[in-house]
Amino acid sequence: MARENFAKAKTYRELLVKIKDRSARVGVVGLGYVGLPLSMELAKAGFRVTGFDIVKEKVKLLNSGRSDIDDIPDNIVKDMILNGRFKATTDFGEFARMDTISICVPTPLSKTKDPDVSYILETVNQVKKYLEKGTLVVLESTTYPGTTEDLILPLLEETGMKVGRDFFLAFSPERVDPGNTKYTTENTPRVVGGITPACSRVAKLFYEQSIPHIYSVSSTRAAEMVKLLENTFRSVNIGLVNEVALMCDRLHLDVWEIIDAAATKPFGFMPFYPGPGLGGHCIPIDPHYLSWKLKTLNYYARFIELAGDINSHMPEYVVDRITAMLNQRFAKALNKSTILVLGVAYKPDIKDVRESPALDVIKLLEDKGVRIYYNDPYVPVIDWNRSKHKSRKLTKSLVEKADVTVILTNHSSYDYQWIVDNARAVFDTRNATKMVKRKRNKVQIL
């Protein structure tokens, strides 16, 4: 256990010492899918961590030793609470006691797809009130290149303190993949970029205490661009394969067969898979941050915009395919039908519905007069069209009364053979039924 030292670091060298011996007091702002896993890793490494959040119910839940995040079981939070390694609070006055402050707040898009950095600015203004010499501030929230240097730095320097001497400022993009048990916060390499060389050294040392592989880049702008490249790469490639799915439909080809065959090539090809759209906080949103930034420099990011257009229209394509299936199989109009949706989380085996394309598909169907039922073992309640709906128990009678059962999230707990055997018709957007015996004309895949 690190020695107890409640004296606040006042200089660069003092901060380095406190980080190395784990006596630094660590603050993490935002206790969601990024902040809570980070807090737990830092606490397990021996730091005393204070988690900050504006949601009182979340703070109360965490302090009782319970977690609301898929990847963090209750027992880990409970152990860190009982060992005095973690506590949650809504009191931003506690910033004054912190040696390091990691900002992990949301960065959504506005309705016009412009970056909304209001949560970052609100947090930084609170940090500024209590900032003392010898503090490391790290932004982890995904944002456009220049945010740390152009927005955060001027606010913190309004205190009269100088970056790289009195306080230290860096950017280290989160790389959280909810539900991924192989790559977690603990073993996923970190990228770090500071405003000054001293800022980079402090931030690198800080993350090295809990994460084995740290890669330093030349600036905060470079680190911000790294994150956007990672997710833009995925968005563009998913957009490409979604368009290939549209092409294969016109050509009467099975896109999944094509991808599987191409994936046998041991070089020069990386398989991506089509689906009903993009979900999660990162991939549907982050590329728009880069596109927006480039527009301010009079540059049009064509790949990003095209991929975004294709991906955003996939829910409409799914509805069109369901409509055609109803007409061909039952000669039935969409607005006279009953549809069962399986899975509303944005990816398998988690409860996260952020930006889930399943919600878009459901809304489009309901707006057209369809009676909708849904089942998701991870999501008991969802809101759509401004009303709450509960997950139905997956029974034989429920499956049988639906004209079409639509698989939108391929949870591993589903018995797909049972679903195919009992459903009147199945539209599979994830190729989840690949390994089961499909009955002729009963199952269609995206």
Tokens of 299: 């540059």
What integer pLDDT is reported at residue 3 of this predicted model? 44
Q: Are residues 106 and 197 in the same domain?
A: yes
Using CA atoms, how far apart are residues 65 and 81, in angstroms rounded to an integer?
A: 6
Q: Are residues 367 and 293 in the same domain?
A: yes
Res. 6: pLDDT tops 70: no
Domain membership of residue 327 (yes or no) is: yes
Q: Are residues 288 and 377 in the same domain?
A: yes
Q: For 203-245, how does the pLDDT look when each residue is reduced to its tens digit (9 = 90+)?
A: 999 999 999 899 999 999 999 999 999 999 999 999 999 999 9
Q: Are residues 354 and 423 in the same domain?
A: yes
Tokens of 381: 């309640």
At 385, the pLDDT band (50, 70, 90 cuts) reads: low
Q: For 59-106, how does the pLDDT look when each residue is reduced to its tens digit (9 = 90+)?
A: 999 999 999 998 899 999 999 999 999 999 999 999 999 999 999 999
- Please give the torsion angle defined by the CA atoms of residues 128, 132, 134 and 135, in that order, rounded to the nearest 10 degrees: -40
Contact, 338 vs 400, CB < 8 A? no
DSSP-assigned beta bridge partners for residue 194: 170
Q: What is the mean pLDDT of residues 336-344?
A: 97
Q: Are residues 171 and 308 in the same domain?
A: no
Using CA atoms, how far apart are residues 192 and 173, in angstroms rounded to an integer?
A: 8
What integer pLDDT is reported at residue 388 of this predicted model? 83
Residues 180, 287, 32, CA angle at the centre, nearest 5°?
Answer: 45
Contact, 86 vs 66, CB < 8 A? no
| Catalytic site residue from 104, 199, 248, 282 | 282
Q: For 309-328, how does the pLDDT look when each residue is reduced to its tens digit (9 = 90+)?
A: 999 999 999 999 999 999 99
Domain membership of residue 326 (yes or no) is: yes
Q: Are residues 150 and 266 in the same domain?
A: no
Q: Are residues 182 and 275 in the same domain?
A: no
Res. 418: pLDDT tops 60: yes
Contact, 311 vs 238, CB < 8 A? yes
Contact, 52 vs 90, CB < 8 A? yes
Contact, 52 vs 94, CB < 8 A? yes
Name the one residue in this structure whose structure tokens are 């380095």: 16
Q: For 155-175, how does the pLDDT look when each residue is reduced to its tens digit (9 = 90+)?
A: 999 999 999 999 999 999 999
Here the CATH number for the domain that contains residue 55 is: 3.40.50.720
Res. 118: pLDDT tops 80: yes
Domain membership of residue 229 (yes or no) is: no
Using CA atoms, how far apart are residues 278 and 275, in angstroms rounded to an integer?
A: 8
Res. 4: pLDDT tops 60: no
Q: For 126-159, how does the pLDDT look when each residue is reduced to its tens digit (9 = 90+)?
A: 999 999 999 999 999 999 999 999 999 999 999 9
Q: Are residues 308 and 381 in the same domain?
A: yes
Q: For 297-306, how does the pLDDT look when each residue is reduced to its tens digit (9 = 90+)?
A: 999 999 999 9
Can you give the chain as a three-state secondary structure string?
CCCCCCCCCCCHHHHHHHHHCCCCEEEEECCCCCHHHHHHHHHHCCCEEEEECCCHHHHHHHHCCCCCCCCCCHHHHHHHHHCCCEEEECCHHHHHHCCEEEECCCCCECCCCCECCHHHHHHHHHHHHHCCCCEEEEECCCCCCCHHHHHHHHHHHCCCCCECCCEEEEECCCCCCCCCCCCCCCCCCEEEEECCHHHHHHHHHHHHCCCCCEEECCCHHHHHHHHHHHHHHHHHHHHHHHHHHHHHHHHCCCHHHHHHHHCCCCCCCCCCCCCCCCCCCCCCCHHHHHHHHHHCCCCCCHHHHHHHHHHHCHHHHHHHHHHHHHHHHHCCCHHHCEEEEECCCCCCCCCCCCCCHHHHHHHHHHHCCCEEEEECCCCCEEEECCEEEECCCCCHHHHHHCCEEEECCCCCCCCHHHHHHHCCCEEECCCCCCCCCCCCCCEEEC
Domain membership of residue 237 (yes or no) is: no
Q: What is the mean pLDDT of residues 110-118?
A: 83
Domain membership of residue 419 (yes or no) is: yes
Q: What is the mean pLDDT of residues 279-301?
A: 87
Domain membership of residue 357 (yes or no) is: yes
- Contacts made by residues 64-70, CB under 8 angstroms, sequence distance 24+: 67/36, 69/32, 69/33, 69/36, 69/37, 70/178, 70/179, 70/350, 70/351, 70/352, 70/378
Res. 113: pLDDT tops 90: no
Instruction: State how many domains the chain has.
Output: 2
Q: Are residues 169 and 298 in the same domain?
A: no
Q: Are residues 289 and 190 in the same domain?
A: no
What integer pLDDT is reported at residue 154 of this predicted model? 98
Quote the domain boundaries for residue 181. Answer: 12-220
Domain membership of residue 41 (yes or no) is: yes
Task: State pTM to two decimals.
Answer: 0.91
Domain membership of residue 228 (yes or no) is: no
Using CA atoms, how far apart are residues 206 and 264, in angstroms rounded to an integer?
A: 42
Using CA atoms, how far apart are residues 24 and 19, in angstroms rounded to an integer?
A: 5
**Domain boundary, last residue among 202, 220, 238:** 220
At 1, the pLDDT band (50, 70, 90 cuts) reads: very low
Q: Are residues 284 and 202 in the same domain?
A: no
Contact, 155 vs 128, CB < 8 A? yes
Tokens of 429: 């957007």
At 383, the pLDDT band (50, 70, 90 cuts) reads: confident
* 199 carries an active-site annotation: no
Q: Are residues 147 and 267 in the same domain?
A: no
